[in-house]
Protein backbone atom coordinates (compact mmCIF):
# COMPACT_ATOMS: atom_id res chain seq x y z
CA UNK A 1 0.00 0.00 0.00
CA UNK A 2 1.23 3.49 -0.81
CA UNK A 3 2.30 5.61 2.18
CA UNK A 4 1.38 8.82 0.34
CA UNK A 5 -1.72 9.99 -1.52
CA UNK A 6 -1.62 9.38 -5.27
CA UNK A 7 -3.28 10.81 -8.36
CA UNK A 8 -3.85 9.34 -11.80
CA UNK A 9 -5.94 9.94 -14.90
CA UNK A 10 -8.26 7.16 -16.02
CA UNK A 11 -11.55 6.42 -17.75
CA UNK A 12 -14.36 5.71 -15.28
CA UNK A 13 -17.83 4.61 -16.45
CA UNK A 14 -16.89 5.91 -19.90
CA UNK A 15 -15.74 9.34 -18.72
CA UNK A 16 -12.17 10.75 -18.77
CA UNK A 17 -11.51 11.38 -15.09
CA UNK A 18 -8.97 11.97 -12.36
CA UNK A 19 -8.64 9.67 -9.34
CA UNK A 20 -7.28 10.67 -5.95
CA UNK A 21 -6.30 7.74 -3.71
CA UNK A 22 -5.28 7.88 -0.04
CA UNK A 23 -3.03 5.39 1.81
CA UNK A 24 -6.05 4.19 3.83
CA UNK A 25 -7.85 3.16 0.61
CA UNK A 26 -10.30 6.07 0.45
CA UNK A 27 -10.63 7.47 -3.04
CA UNK A 28 -12.55 9.94 -5.15
CA UNK A 29 -13.01 9.95 -8.92
CA UNK A 30 -13.90 13.18 -10.73
CA UNK A 31 -14.97 13.42 -14.38
CA UNK A 32 -13.65 16.37 -16.36
CA UNK A 33 -17.08 16.61 -17.96
CA UNK A 34 -19.01 18.84 -15.60
CA UNK A 35 -16.29 18.64 -12.88
CA UNK A 36 -18.54 15.82 -11.76
CA UNK A 37 -17.63 13.69 -8.74
CA UNK A 38 -18.49 10.17 -9.86
CA UNK A 39 -17.36 8.05 -6.92
CA UNK A 40 -16.31 8.47 -3.30
CA UNK A 41 -15.17 5.39 -1.42
CA UNK A 42 -14.64 5.82 2.33
CA UNK A 43 -14.13 3.11 4.97
CA UNK A 44 -14.38 0.51 2.20
CA UNK A 45 -17.81 1.48 0.89
CA UNK A 46 -19.12 3.55 -2.01
CA UNK A 47 -20.87 6.60 -0.57
CA UNK A 48 -22.33 8.11 -3.73
CA UNK A 49 -25.02 6.75 -6.05
CA UNK A 50 -24.15 6.72 -9.76
CA UNK A 51 -26.73 5.35 -12.17
CA UNK A 52 -25.41 2.50 -14.34
CA UNK A 53 -27.70 3.84 -17.09
CA UNK A 54 -26.27 7.34 -17.03
CA UNK A 55 -25.50 8.59 -20.52
CA UNK A 56 -21.92 9.03 -21.74
CA UNK A 57 -23.05 11.61 -24.29
CA UNK A 58 -20.74 14.60 -23.88
CA UNK A 59 -23.74 16.92 -24.30
CA UNK A 60 -25.85 15.37 -21.54
CA UNK A 61 -25.68 15.50 -17.76
CA UNK A 62 -24.47 12.55 -15.69
CA UNK A 63 -27.09 10.98 -13.41
CA UNK A 64 -25.73 10.56 -9.88
CA UNK A 65 -22.53 11.45 -8.08
CA UNK A 66 -22.28 15.20 -7.40
CA UNK A 67 -23.51 17.32 -10.32
CA UNK A 68 -22.55 21.01 -10.24
CA UNK A 69 -25.68 23.09 -10.86
CA UNK A 70 -24.51 26.52 -12.08
CA UNK A 71 -25.43 29.28 -12.88
CA UNK A 72 -29.08 28.29 -12.50
CA UNK A 73 -30.95 25.99 -10.14
CA UNK A 74 -33.48 23.71 -11.83
CA UNK A 75 -35.66 25.60 -14.35
CA UNK A 76 -35.79 28.88 -12.45
CA UNK A 77 -34.60 31.03 -15.34
CA UNK A 78 -33.92 31.05 -19.06
CA UNK A 79 -30.93 28.67 -19.08
CA UNK A 80 -31.04 24.89 -19.55
CA UNK A 81 -32.19 22.97 -16.48
CA UNK A 82 -29.62 23.32 -13.68
CA UNK A 83 -27.47 25.55 -15.89
CA UNK A 84 -24.72 24.58 -18.32
CA UNK A 85 -21.77 23.83 -16.01
CA UNK A 86 -22.68 20.17 -15.54
CA UNK A 87 -22.55 19.68 -19.32
CA UNK A 88 -19.33 21.65 -19.91
CA UNK A 89 -15.75 20.46 -20.18
CA UNK A 90 -13.71 21.66 -17.19
CA UNK A 91 -9.90 21.75 -16.97
CA UNK A 92 -8.26 19.76 -14.17
CA UNK A 93 -5.24 21.39 -12.57
CA UNK A 94 -2.33 19.47 -11.08
CA UNK A 95 -3.42 17.73 -7.89
CA UNK A 96 -1.85 18.65 -4.57
CA UNK A 97 -0.91 15.55 -2.56
CA UNK A 98 0.21 15.69 1.08
CA UNK A 99 0.44 12.46 3.07
CA UNK A 100 -3.11 11.37 3.88
CA UNK A 101 -4.81 14.29 2.11
CA UNK A 102 -5.34 15.17 -1.54
CA UNK A 103 -6.72 18.26 -3.30
CA UNK A 104 -7.89 18.70 -6.87
CA UNK A 105 -9.13 21.88 -8.57
CA UNK A 106 -11.08 22.02 -11.84
CA UNK A 107 -11.68 25.25 -13.74
CA UNK A 108 -14.41 26.51 -16.07
CA UNK A 109 -14.21 29.95 -17.71
CA UNK A 110 -16.52 31.71 -20.12
CA UNK A 111 -16.14 30.74 -23.76
CA UNK A 112 -18.07 30.85 -27.00
CA UNK A 113 -19.91 27.74 -25.79
CA UNK A 114 -21.03 29.31 -22.48
CA UNK A 115 -21.86 32.65 -24.09
CA UNK A 116 -24.46 31.07 -26.33
CA UNK A 117 -26.42 30.63 -23.09
CA UNK A 118 -25.10 33.36 -20.80
CA UNK A 119 -23.51 36.64 -21.86
CA UNK A 120 -21.20 36.84 -18.88
CA UNK A 121 -17.47 36.69 -18.19
CA UNK A 122 -16.67 34.47 -15.20
CA UNK A 123 -14.35 31.87 -13.75
CA UNK A 124 -15.71 28.94 -11.72
CA UNK A 125 -13.55 26.59 -9.68
CA UNK A 126 -14.50 23.28 -8.11
CA UNK A 127 -12.16 22.40 -5.25
CA UNK A 128 -12.20 18.81 -4.03
CA UNK A 129 -10.49 17.81 -0.79
CA UNK A 130 -10.19 14.13 0.15
CA UNK A 131 -9.11 13.10 3.65
CA UNK A 132 -9.67 9.86 5.61
CA UNK A 133 -13.42 9.36 5.95
CA UNK A 134 -14.28 12.79 4.55
CA UNK A 135 -14.92 14.60 1.29
CA UNK A 136 -15.31 18.35 0.88
CA UNK A 137 -16.46 19.94 -2.37
CA UNK A 138 -16.39 23.70 -2.83
CA UNK A 139 -17.72 25.76 -5.72
CA UNK A 140 -16.20 29.22 -6.10
CA UNK A 141 -17.19 31.91 -8.60
CA UNK A 142 -15.21 34.95 -9.73
CA UNK A 143 -16.96 37.69 -11.70
CA UNK A 144 -14.34 38.65 -14.28
CA UNK A 145 -16.79 40.93 -16.11
CA UNK A 146 -17.29 44.71 -15.86
CA UNK A 147 -20.97 44.21 -14.99
CA UNK A 148 -22.69 42.43 -12.05
CA UNK A 149 -23.11 38.66 -12.10
CA UNK A 150 -26.14 36.88 -10.64
CA UNK A 151 -26.54 33.12 -10.19
CA UNK A 152 -28.27 30.32 -8.32
CA UNK A 153 -27.12 26.71 -8.11
CA UNK A 154 -26.36 23.64 -6.04
CA UNK A 155 -24.04 20.79 -5.28
CA UNK A 156 -26.61 18.14 -6.21
CA UNK A 157 -25.20 15.28 -4.10
CA UNK A 158 -26.61 11.76 -4.65
CA UNK A 159 -25.88 9.70 -1.52
CA UNK A 160 -25.91 5.91 -1.69
CA UNK A 161 -28.21 4.10 0.74
CA UNK A 162 -29.04 0.40 1.00
CA UNK A 163 -32.77 1.06 1.40
CA UNK A 164 -34.14 4.60 1.43
CA UNK A 165 -37.22 3.40 3.34
CA UNK A 166 -34.90 2.62 6.27
CA UNK A 167 -32.92 5.86 6.03
CA UNK A 168 -33.41 8.67 8.52
CA UNK A 169 -32.20 12.24 8.12
CA UNK A 170 -31.80 14.48 11.17
CA UNK A 171 -31.00 18.16 11.57
CA UNK A 172 -33.82 19.84 9.64
CA UNK A 173 -36.10 20.16 12.67
CA UNK A 174 -37.67 23.59 12.99
CA UNK A 175 -36.32 24.89 9.68
CA UNK A 176 -38.66 26.42 7.09
CA UNK A 177 -39.74 23.74 4.61
CA UNK A 178 -41.34 23.94 1.16
CA UNK A 179 -42.76 20.66 -0.11
CA UNK A 180 -42.50 21.00 -3.91
CA UNK A 181 -44.55 17.84 -4.54
CA UNK A 182 -47.61 19.23 -2.75
CA UNK A 183 -46.71 22.96 -2.91
CA UNK A 184 -47.02 23.23 0.85
CA UNK A 185 -45.06 25.32 3.33
CA UNK A 186 -44.41 24.10 6.89
CA UNK A 187 -41.77 23.73 9.57
CA UNK A 188 -39.55 20.68 9.19
CA UNK A 189 -39.91 17.66 11.44
CA UNK A 190 -37.01 16.58 13.66
CA UNK A 191 -36.63 13.35 11.68
CA UNK A 192 -37.23 12.86 7.95
CA UNK A 193 -38.25 9.49 6.51
CA UNK A 194 -38.84 8.52 2.89
CA UNK A 195 -41.66 6.34 1.54
CA UNK A 196 -42.42 7.94 -1.85
CA UNK A 197 -41.56 10.92 -4.00
CA UNK A 198 -39.82 13.50 -1.82
CA UNK A 199 -38.80 16.96 -3.06
CA UNK A 200 -38.39 19.62 -0.38
CA UNK A 201 -36.40 22.83 0.05
CA UNK A 202 -35.24 23.81 3.55
CA UNK A 203 -33.67 26.87 5.03
CA UNK A 204 -30.15 25.61 5.72
CA UNK A 205 -29.53 24.42 9.29
CA UNK A 206 -26.31 25.93 10.69
CA UNK A 207 -25.29 22.76 12.56
CA UNK A 208 -25.67 20.48 9.53
CA UNK A 209 -27.33 17.09 9.16
CA UNK A 210 -26.92 13.44 10.04
CA UNK A 211 -27.94 10.62 7.71
CA UNK A 212 -28.43 7.23 9.34
CA UNK A 213 -28.65 4.60 6.63
CA UNK A 214 -26.91 1.38 7.64
CA UNK A 215 -23.69 0.50 9.43
CA UNK A 216 -22.33 4.01 9.22
CA UNK A 217 -23.66 7.48 9.93
CA UNK A 218 -22.87 10.28 7.50
CA UNK A 219 -22.60 13.86 8.71
CA UNK A 220 -23.40 16.52 6.12
CA UNK A 221 -22.37 20.12 6.58
CA UNK A 222 -22.49 23.12 4.30
CA UNK A 223 -21.10 26.62 4.48
CA UNK A 224 -23.45 29.47 5.28
CA UNK A 225 -22.99 30.84 1.75
CA UNK A 226 -25.56 28.24 0.62
CA UNK A 227 -28.90 29.51 1.95
CA UNK A 228 -30.93 26.33 1.35
CA UNK A 229 -30.71 22.55 1.51
CA UNK A 230 -32.68 20.43 -0.96
CA UNK A 231 -33.68 16.84 -0.15
CA UNK A 232 -34.89 14.76 -3.09
CA UNK A 233 -35.86 11.23 -3.97
CA UNK A 234 -37.95 10.53 -7.10
CA UNK A 235 -39.97 7.65 -5.65
CA UNK A 236 -41.11 4.66 -7.73
CA UNK A 237 -43.45 6.39 -10.19
CA UNK A 238 -41.18 9.27 -11.13
CA UNK A 239 -38.11 7.02 -11.25
CA UNK A 240 -39.90 4.91 -13.86
CA UNK A 241 -40.09 7.98 -16.12
CA UNK A 242 -36.32 8.65 -15.94
CA UNK A 243 -34.61 6.90 -18.84
CA UNK A 244 -31.19 7.13 -17.21
CA UNK A 245 -32.17 5.36 -13.98
CA UNK A 246 -32.94 1.64 -13.58
CA UNK A 247 -36.27 0.51 -12.21
CA UNK A 248 -36.07 0.49 -8.44
CA UNK A 249 -32.95 2.69 -8.32
CA UNK A 250 -34.84 5.24 -6.21
CA UNK A 251 -34.57 2.81 -3.29
CA UNK A 252 -30.78 3.15 -3.23
CA UNK A 253 -30.21 6.92 -3.33
CA UNK A 254 -31.06 10.12 -1.54
CA UNK A 255 -30.06 13.61 -2.67
CA UNK A 256 -29.04 16.07 0.04
CA UNK A 257 -27.96 19.24 -1.75
CA UNK A 258 -26.26 22.44 -0.65
CA UNK A 259 -28.23 24.94 -2.69
CA UNK A 260 -29.13 28.50 -3.54
CA UNK A 261 -32.72 28.29 -4.76
CA UNK A 262 -34.87 31.28 -3.87
CA UNK A 263 -32.67 34.32 -4.25
CA UNK A 264 -29.79 34.83 -6.67
CA UNK A 265 -26.32 35.57 -5.37
CA UNK A 266 -25.12 38.81 -6.95
CA UNK A 267 -21.44 39.61 -7.40
CA UNK A 268 -20.20 43.04 -8.43
CA UNK A 269 -17.54 43.37 -11.12
CA UNK A 270 -14.46 41.58 -9.80
CA UNK A 271 -16.44 40.00 -6.93
CA UNK A 272 -15.88 36.49 -5.57
CA UNK A 273 -18.06 33.89 -3.81
CA UNK A 274 -17.43 30.38 -2.50
CA UNK A 275 -19.64 27.73 -0.86
CA UNK A 276 -18.84 24.19 0.23
CA UNK A 277 -20.42 20.92 1.31
CA UNK A 278 -18.58 18.45 3.56
CA UNK A 279 -19.43 14.75 3.96
CA UNK A 280 -17.90 12.66 6.76
CA UNK A 281 -18.39 9.02 7.70
CA UNK A 282 -18.81 7.98 11.33
CA UNK A 283 -19.20 4.48 12.77
CA UNK A 284 -22.68 3.95 14.18
Least confident of 11-15, 59-63, 113-117, 238-242: 59-63
Nearest to 152 by CA among 206, 86, 202, 77: 77
Q: What percent of the chain has pLDDT over 70?
A: 98
pLDDT (0 to 100) of residue 13 = 87
What integer pLDDT is reported at residue 82 of this predicted model? 83
- For the chain, the farthest-separated pair of C-alpha atoms sits apart, in whole angstroms, at 52
Q: How confident is the model at residue 262 (pLDDT cuts 50, 70, 90)?
A: confident
How remote is the C-alpha of 30 from its chain's centroid?
12
Separation CA 242–CA 47 (nearest Å): 22
Q: pLDDT confidence of 182, banded at 50, 70, 90?
A: very high
Least confident segment among 20-29, 51-60, 196-205, 238-247: 51-60
Q: What is the CA radius of gyration of the chain?
A: 18
User: Could you give the domains of the chain?
Assistant: 6-283 (2.70.98.10)
Segment 44-101, tens digit of pLDDT? 999 999 999 987 776 778 999 999 999 999 877 788 888 999 999 999 999 999 989 9
Residue 43 phi/psi, 5° resolution? 55, 35
Q: What pTM was computed for the model?
A: 0.96
Are 86 and 80 spatial neighbours (Cβ–Cβ below 8 Å)? no
If 0-12 CB within 10 Å is exposed, 13-18 middle and 19+ buried, where does residue 127 land?
middle
Query: What pLDDT does 112 receive?
Result: 94
Question: Are 28 and 199 contacting, i.e. CB atoms less than 8 angstroms apart?
Answer: no
- 248 falls in which pLDDT band (50, 70, 90)? very high
Summarised one tens digit per residue, pLDDT across range 208-221 is: 999 998 768 999 99
pLDDT tens per residue across span 121-166: 999 999 999 999 999 999 999 999 999 999 999 999 999 999 999 9
Strands 191-192 and 216-222, by their bridges, are: unpaired
Q: Do 48 and 159 meet the contact criterion of CB atoms below 8 Å apart?
A: yes
Amino acid sequence: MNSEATCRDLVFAGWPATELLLPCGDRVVVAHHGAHVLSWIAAGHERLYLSPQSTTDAHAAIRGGIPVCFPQFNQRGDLPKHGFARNASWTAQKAHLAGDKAHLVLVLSDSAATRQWWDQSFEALLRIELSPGALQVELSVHNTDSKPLGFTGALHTYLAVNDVAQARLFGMGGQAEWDAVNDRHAMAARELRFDGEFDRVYSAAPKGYELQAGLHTLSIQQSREWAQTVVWNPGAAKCATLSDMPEGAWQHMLCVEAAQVDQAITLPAGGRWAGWQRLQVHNS
